[in-house]
C-alpha cells in the first residue's frame, strides 16, 4: 500500500469534495471581503482585524491544500465482503479473556473516528487485523504490553 494513497469511502470523498467547494467559493470570498474592509481601516501594522483576516486566510488555504492532496490521492474503498480482513471490512473482535465483543470498520486515516468505531488500517489494532480470517487470533503491542484478540466475524 502506497504511503500517498488516501483510502476513503465514497461518502467521505463526497463530504471532502463538498467541503473543498465551500472553502473555495464561499469562505475565500468572505475572507477577501474581510481583508478589504480591514485595509480600509488604515494602518495595517496595528490593525487587529487585518491580522485576524490574514490568519483566517492562511488557515483556509492550508485546509484547501490538505483537501486537494487527499482528494488527488484518494482511492475509494468498497465494503469488503471477503473472508479476510481488509480496508473496508467491518470486523467483530473479542479480547482474549473477556466476553465483550467490539465491532470496528477498517478505513483510511482520513476517515478514522473512534466514536464511530472506524479505525485506520495503519493503527496498531487495524494493522494487526489486516489479512486475518474469522476465528483467527492476533496480537499487538500497546503501551500496557501485548494484547490478544480473536476475530469473531468479518462483514
Domain at 139, CATH number: 3.10.50.30
Q: What are phi and psi of 18, to 5 degrees?
A: -65, -40
Residues 11 and 72 in one domain: yes
Banded pLDDT at 39 (limits 50, 70, 90): confident
- Do 121 and 72 belong to one domain? no
pLDDT digits (tens, 9 = 90+) for 90-129: 999 999 999 999 999 999 998 999 999 999 999 999 999 9
Whole-number Å distance between alpha carbons of 111 and 107:
6
Q: Are residues 49 and 94 in the same domain?
A: no
Q: Note down the domain range covering 14.
A: 6-76
Residue 1 located in a structural domain: no
The number of distinct structural domains making up the chain is 2
Kindly report the pTM of this predicted structure: 0.77
Instruction: Look at residue 14 and tell me if it is in a domain.
Output: yes
Q: Are residues 11 and 68 in the same domain?
A: yes
Measure CA 13 to chain center.
10
Amino acid at each position: 500500500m502506497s504511503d500517498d494513497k488516501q483510502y476513503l469511502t465514497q461518502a467521505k470523498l463526497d463530504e471532502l469534495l463538498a467541503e473543498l467547494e465551500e472553502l473555495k467559493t464561499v469562505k475565500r470570498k468572505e475572507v477577501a471581503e474581510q481583508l478589504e474592509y480591514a485595509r480600509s481601516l488604515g494602518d495595517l501594522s496595528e490593525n487587529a482585524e487585518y491580522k485576524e483576516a490574514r490568519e483566517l486566510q492562511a488557515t483556509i488555504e492550508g485546509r484547501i491544500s490538505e483537501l486537494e492532496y487527499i482528494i488527488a490521492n484518494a482511492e475509494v474503498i468498497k465494503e469488503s465482503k471477503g473472508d479476510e480482513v481488509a480496508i473496508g471490512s467491518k470486523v467483530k473482535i473479542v479480547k482474549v479473556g473477556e466476553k465483550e465483543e467490539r465491532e470496528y470498520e477498517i478505513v483510511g486515516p482520513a476517515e478514522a473516528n473512534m466514536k464511530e468505531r472506524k479505525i485506520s488500517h495503519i493503527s496498531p489494532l487495524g494493522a494487526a487485523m489486516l489479512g486475518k480470517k474469522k476465528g483467527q487470533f492476533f496480537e499487538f503491542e500497546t503501551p500496557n504490553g501485548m494484547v490478544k484478540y480473536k476475530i469473531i466475524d468479518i462483514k
